[in-house]
Amino acid sequence: MSETSLHANGVTSVSMVTIKVNGQVLRAPEGANLLTVLRQAGFSVPSLCYLEGLPGIGACRLCLVEIAGVPKLQTACTTAVRDGMEIYTNSARVREARREVLQLLLGDHPNECLFCQRSGDCELQALAAEYGVRQKQYEEMLRHFEPDLSSPALAYDPEKCVLCQRCVRVCSEVQEVNAISLVRRGIKTKVSPPFEMPWAESGCTFCGQCTVVCPTGALTEHDDTARVWQALNDPDRYVVAQIAPAVRVTMGEAWADSRGVSRDEIPEDFSERIVAGLKALGFRAVFDTQFSADLTIMEETHEFVERFKRGERLPIFTSCCPAWVRFVELYFPEQVEHLSSCKSPQGMLGALLKTYYAQKIGVDPARITVVSIMPCTAKKFEASRPELGRDGRPDVDIVLTSRELERLMAQAGIDPGKLEPQPFDSPLGESTGAGAIFGASGGVAEAALRTAYYLVSGKDPAPLEFEAVRGWDNLRTATITIDGTAVRCAVVSGLAGARRLLESGEYKQYDFVEVMACPGGCVDGGGQLRPEVKAARGLHAQKRAAGLYAIDQKKEIRLSHRNPAIQKVYAEFLGEPGSSTAHHLLHTHYQPQDAYELVAATREKEG
């Protein structure tokens, strides 16, 4: 690991040099990361540890290549391009060396592919097949570990871990949460929170970004598909579902082929096909989290305008991202009071389903099972928080990620891509374009601004779009003038940016701060379908977000306060935004958490 590690993105003013790959002449920027250059030129080089966009660390040794004049094989991910380099990516020697590396990895890997969540989607399994490793060279496993199943969000099985450190690097270099590291040495090495404390009690926010990049079945979402089957098979249960915005522009990546839809176009809205799929499984009704996103806007904007008028606890922090909420509770306890008291959309819909809806259909709420389909692992944790329920009953019973939805459908042999679309159920299924954009970073702020504009000025904004809060930078700011009053907004995605905003005190310059823990927002959430190429920053976010903005564009109603179903729920049940019923059902409180005694010690900044 002594070679220079450079990456293409970090190099300024590069000179182009000539290299030769497998006899083919190629121009490449001097000093660029060789692995990235090879892949971009179409040469396939295997890797289990490299993350596009971060320097290579040479941990897995699968990207070995032969370089003329260099006696030993080199790891491409830690090699910088030099003029005149002659590289062989696929020589017999290279293939033999890679096969040996795979043999060693598989020698200490359990024979559990058949039962593994990642079977069919595992990078180690795919490479073993590609390199014709069909036999185990070493029979006995040397590593023996217990899995960590302590949290409702994540599961870690050290025996399946290839110690590639992708998870550690995403957590420390991308999210800058630093919740985990490699601990111990030799055959006892594993990934762990400090002091080998259970994941559930650690400083982890459950954002799940680490589960997106893990190449094997070692670090995954906590699988809840079995619980869904159990509920569906129980004739006494009344099982209903809700679907988050980001999921509908993602599932096409799994199912679009069956509909002949190209994966490169702006993703089609798959929501009504998911509804059809869930109905085919036996769900009694399927509702839209976009409806409760509209409801969140009503409550949150009301709270914001009240606090803004009184200059109270500004800025308001959005509270719809549970990983962000936990991040504040853990690392910035003094700023917890800034969080909006609103539950997240999944929580609000869960609460309404077990009260308003239960009354409407005359079913005992104790019999209703609410299943959320979310892009998110942190939503599993959120649903388990005692604050998000009443009388010991959770608002949401089971949370499935997009990845689990794909498995659930596969287990049932249903391809929703081939089903006739079915509409969401009424009355908690109608939504506006404002609800749809919740899934993209900046969407909550934009939806809130649209309604805040109306609440303050009595007029709807024209145009409706607030382009200033859209985009891909980790921090975007805009000042919006409503009736002569300036509202200063900041939009952050990714916890690294959030930490900077809070640590620097810069947050104090704003009135409204939206934070999504996942870089890009929920479209690239920790529970979303994994991209083929693992990168520091998801490569699908922009495309998926374009799908959400297209949904917004097409909706006839694009303002939360104009949603007739929302108006009806207020008229029939909630009264007004901020009413005592609304407070009882739709709001909660957050408080500093001391997950472990050390957080207090570590959160003080070193001067």
Binding site for other proteins (CB under 8 A): 172-173, 176, 178-185, 193-196, 203, 496, 499-500, 503, 596-598, 601-602, 604, 606
8 A C-beta contact, residue 466 and residue 446: yes
Quick one: 31 or 58, whose CB is closer to ligand FES?
58
Nearest-approach distance from CB 327 to ligand SF4, in angstroms:
8
Q: Which residues contact 478 (CB under 8 A, 6 or more apart)?
A: 466, 468, 469, 488, 489, 491
Active-site residue 340, yes or no?
yes
Instruction: Return the amino acid letter for 383.
Output: A
Is 63 among the catalytic positions?
A: no
Query: Residue 503's binding partner, choosing from ligand FES, other proteins, ligand SF4, none, with beta-carbon cut-off 5 to 8 A by kind?
Result: other proteins
> Is 382 an active-site residue?
yes
Catalytic residue among 60, 207, 320, 518: 320
Is the CB of 169 or the CB of 476 nearer to ligand FES? 169
48 near ligand FES, judged by CB under 6 A: yes
Tokens of 523: 């479209």
- 207 has catalytic annotation: no
285 or 502, CB closer to other proteins?
A: 502
Q: What residues numbered 144-183 form the site for ligand FES, per CB under 6 A? A: none
Q: Residue 334: CB partners within 8 Å, gap ≥ 6? A: none
Question: Which residue's structure tokens are 């929501």?
Answer: 271
| Site for ligand SF4 contains 325 (CB under 6 A) | no
Residue 56, interface with ligand SF4 (CB under 6 A)?
no
CB atoms within 10 A of CB 236: 9
- Judge whether 380 counts as a catalytic residue: no
Residue 59 touches which of ligand SF4, ligand FES, other proteins, none (Cβ within 5-8 Å per kind):
ligand FES
- Distance, in Å, from the CA atom of 527 to the CA atom of 406, rounded to the nearest integer, reads 11
Backbone angles phi, psi at 288, to 5 degrees: -115, 120
| Between 3 and 223, CB nearer to ligand FES | 3
- What is the rounded CA–CA span in Å between residue 443 and residue 520? 11
From ligand SF4, other proteins, ligand FES, none, which one binds at residue 50 (CB under 5 to 8 Å depending on kind)? ligand FES
Instruction: Provide the residue type at 432 as one letter.
Output: T
| 516 near ligand SF4, judged by CB under 6 A | yes
Q: Is 493 helix (H, G, I), strand (E, B) or coil?
A: strand
* From 6, 35, 297, 323, residue interacting with ligand SF4 (rule: CB under 6 A): 323
**Does residue number 383 form part of the binding site for ligand SF4 (CB under 6 A)?**
no
Q: Quick one: what does residue 518 bind among ligand SF4, ligand FES, other proteins, none, with the CB cut-off 5 to 8 Å set by partner type?
A: ligand SF4
CA distance 201 to 152: 11
Beta bridge partners of 515: 492
* 387 is an active site residue: yes
The smaller minimum CB distance to ligand FES, of residues 28 and 62, is found at 62
Helices (H) and strands (E) in the chain, counts: 22, 19
Q: Does 124 bind ligand FES (CB under 6 A)?
A: no
Q: Which phi and psi (to 5°) does residue 598 adopt?
A: -85, -20
Residues in the chain: 607
Does position 214 bind ligand FES by CB under 6 A? no
User: Quick one: what does residue 405 bind among ligand FES, ligand SF4, other proteins, none, with the CB cut-off 5 to 8 Å set by partner type?
Assistant: none
Least separation in angstroms between CB 102 and ligand FES: 12
Q: Which stretch, 85-93, 212-220, 284-292, 331-339, contacts ligand SF4 (CB under 6 A)?
A: 212-220
Smallest distance, Å, CB 37 to other proteins? 27
Residue (of 593, 589, 569, 590) closest to 579 by Cα position: 569
32 touches ligand SF4 (CB under 6 A): no
Judge whether 329 counts as a catalytic residue. Answer: no
Cβ closer to ligand FES: 77 or 286?
77
Nearer residue to ligand FES within complex by CB, 63 or 278: 63
Q: Map the footprint of ligand FES across residues 51-110, applying CB under 6 A.
A: 56, 58-63, 75, 77
Active-site annotation holder among 382, 404, 430, 465: 382
Q: How far is the CB of 5 from ligand FES (least distance, A)?
A: 10
518, 439 contact by CB (below 8 A): no
Tell me the sheet residues that pair with 80.
Answer: 33
DSSP states of 458-485 as a string? SS--SS---GGG-SSSSEEEEEEEETTE
Q: How many Å apart are CA 94 and CA 107, to the nearest integer?
A: 20
Which residues are 155's β-sheet partners? 220
Compute and round to an integer the Cα radius of gyration of the chain.
25
Partner touching 384 among ligand SF4, other proteins, ligand FES, none, CB below 5 to 8 Å by kind: none
Provide long-range contacts, Cβ within 8 A and 24+ apart, for 184-188. 187/108, 187/142, 187/143, 188/143
Structure tokens at 520: 């890009």
Residues 6+ apart with CB under 8 A from 505: none
Q: Which two tokens stand for residue 228?
A: 């869904």
Q: Which is nearer to other proteins, 186 or 458 (CB)?
A: 186
Token pair 């000042």 is found at: 479
Considering the candidates 300, 406, 465, 514, report the single residue annotated as catalytic: 300
Residues 158-187 that bind ligand SF4 (CB under 6 A): 161-167, 170-171, 175, 177, 179-180
Distance of closest approach, residue 44 Cβ to ligand FES, in angstroms: 13
Residue 116 is a catalytic residue: no
Give the full edge-to-edge strand order of the sheet including 285-288: 285-288, 238-243, 368-374, 398-401
> From the list other proteins, ligand SF4, ligand FES, none, which binds 63 (C-beta under 5 to 8 Å, kind-based)?
ligand FES
**Six-digit token pair at 203?**
């400083």
Cα–Cα nearest to 590, from 339, 296, 380, 395: 339
Chain contacts with ligand FES (rule: CB under 6 A): 47-50, 56, 58-63, 75, 77
Chain contacts with ligand SF4 (rule: CB under 6 A): 161-167, 170-171, 175, 177, 179-180, 191, 204-210, 213-216, 218-219, 321, 323, 375-376, 378-379, 516-518, 521-522, 525-526
Would you name the residues annotated as active-site residues?
300, 303, 320, 340, 379, 382, 387, 522
